[in-house]
Amino acid sequence: MHVIRDDGSLDSTLDPGAVVLRAPLMAVIRHKLLCWYDEVGRDLPWRQTRDPYAIWVSEVMLQQTRVETVIPYYERFLESFPTTHALAQADEDAVLSHWSGLGYYRRARLLHAGVREVVAEYGGEVPEDADARRALPGIGRYTAGAIGSIAFDKEEPIVDGNVARVLSRLLRIKTPIGAAVTTNRLWQEAARLVPGERPGDLNQALMELGATVCTPKKPRCESCPVAEACEALAHAEVETLPVPRPRKAPKEVKLTAVVATRGRGAERKVWLVKGDQPLFGGLWGVPMAEGSARIVLSDAGLRGRLGSDPVADVEHVLTHRRLRIDVYRAPAARAAESKTRRPFAAEELEGVGVSTLTRKVLAAAL
């Protein structure tokens, strides 16, 4: 591998490959990143607090979700659940209703479980100890590092998609993102870079750089505070790094949904069911599964008159699946109400967890 000497020059007598930064240059990079972050870092609501619980909420919401989308969800969530105790005391429906439309609902359930454990085991105080944090439900290496560095000023590294892209270009890492060798290398380099003053701000500067300058396409290298140290830029490889992981085409899945209702006009309610589904577990939704409409309705414990043809065809794309749903209506449907099956008026849907897909199906049918 290449090694950068203390004077910043490249020692090319070693095997070709990725770069390992020497301590003096790392100190320069840290300083430039922090100065740049102080000058241009975005004014985001979770950057106005050192509360580990609030930071935890923000980091969970930001996983695989854009900042602009997260901001209103974050603000509403903390308005309703301002403390760990408030969230721990809330029921799952209330929590998921605040997550409706944000996607990846398992995140919300794990956050809820983790906070309940914090209240039960630590009196509601998020633990400073890194091992204790990582033992909580839903907290992995990244989230633990974000809480530790930002809330507790601990020298704990983080690697998310933005940081991975920055380090891959900076160090000219040519193994694919997602490969074990790449993941290990990125975490090692992040751990070497974080020690020093303001580790939380350093981590946020890396994320900010990846989000706003070192972007996946058309990166703005002319605005990068560490461009002079970037090996990908020096070798004209910015557009080809990082090396992406091989992607599979989304799997096509054919489903049938039944919008079963009772009553008419202003009195109309729609029957929803709740179950441990792999995609939308814990959420209320219309009966939906593979198979005929009659079987889907029956398996949900409902009886009603079905139309012979679907009234709509809905498509919904998830990360690894492309769902195609034939939507049927079943007016005047009947069933025994239970904890996992009951009719909802339109205004009641705002108070429970309902997926974006269910809202699309309801809009198409009603």
Active site residues: 59
- Hey, which residues does 344 pair with through a beta bridge? 270
Tokens of 299: 């398996």
- Residue 235: Cβ-neighbour burial (10 angstroms; 0-12, 13-18, 19+): exposed
Distance CA 293, CA 304 (A): 11
CA distances to 3, 25, 37, 79, 157 from 31, in Å? 20, 10, 10, 36, 17
Distance CA 14, CA 78 (A): 52
Angle, helices 199-212/180-193, rounded to nearest 10 degrees: 130
Are the C-beta atoms of 284 and 212 separated by less than 8 Å? no
Examine residue 157 and say whether the peptide bond preceding it is cis (omega within 30 degrees of 0).
no
Cβ burial 23-58 (10 Å sphere, 16+ → b, else e): eebbeebbebbbebbeeebeeeebbeeebbbbbbbb
Expressed in percent and rounded to 5, the helix, strand and coil fractions of the chain are: 45, 15, 40
